[in-house]
Amino acid sequence: MAKSTTVSLKLLIDEQGERVLFAEAGKEFVDFLFHILSLPMSTVINLVGKQGMVGSVSNIYESVQNLNQAYIQPDKTKDSLLKPAVNFSAPPLLKAFNHASSSSSSGGFVKGVVTYMVMDDLVVNPMSAITSITLLNKFNIKEVGSLQEKVVHMGMPEAVKLLKAAMETDEVLTTVFLK
């Protein structure tokens, strides 16, 4: 049986503030987030698209793309920069969702026996009831009835949207799942 190409998250949403407070996430999602740090910049540009990049990094990419091969060292290729071989043990972007079962502590970056709390700005910590209650106070939530729990599924389109949002805002989960 083929493994699913999506991962589920349980969001806690402040309906009055129209924002995601945090997500309950398993190993697969946290491994995906941590895997982002190991992606080569050109892979990020290919996923997000040059027009989706903020700043001038895409100009460097385009310069390499447009540079005539006559200016490239004979033992080098443009593809070594534009489409680098991924030489690390972490799984490719989408395979991070499927790397290991959530009950396994082998493979990936984090152990699967824990549920993780992922904040809107992608700060990750192990889930704790005390931390959850403290956060309600921090976010000035006076009426618990204004909170909504929502399960969302993240596949490749949402993963790319999350990657792009992570480079543009501190309200990443809100941007990806509520806007």
Identify the pLDDT of residue 4.
56
65-69, 97-101, 114-118, 149-153: range with lowest mean pLDDT: 97-101
- Dihedral, CA atoms, 21, 25, 31, 35, nearest 10 degrees? -20
DSSP 93-104: TGGGGTSS-TT-
Amino acid type, 35:
H
Give the 3-state secondary structure of residue 108. coil
In angstroms, rounded to a whole number, what is the distance separating the alpha carbons of residues 156 and 166?
15
User: Where does residue 63 rank: exposed (0-12), middle (13-18), buried (19+ CB within 10 A)?
Assistant: exposed
Q: What is the pLDDT of residues 46-60, one digit of tens each?
A: 888 877 777 788 888
What's the average model confidence in pLDDT over 100-126? 79
Instruction: Tell me the average pLDDT of the chain.
Output: 84
Query: Quick one: pLDDT band at residue 86, thresholds 50, 70, 90?
Result: low
**Which of 1, 5, 177 has the alpha carbon at shortest distance from 91?**
5
Look up the pTM and report it.
0.80
Query: Quick one: pLDDT band at residue 99, thresholds 50, 70, 90?
Result: very low
Q: Residue holding tokens 């043990």?
A: 89
User: Where does residue 138 rank: exposed (0-12), middle (13-18), buried (19+ CB within 10 A)?
Assistant: exposed
5-9, 55-59, 66-70, 122-126: range with lowest mean pLDDT: 55-59
In angstroms, rounded to a whole number, what is the distance separating the alpha carbons of residues 47 and 6?
17
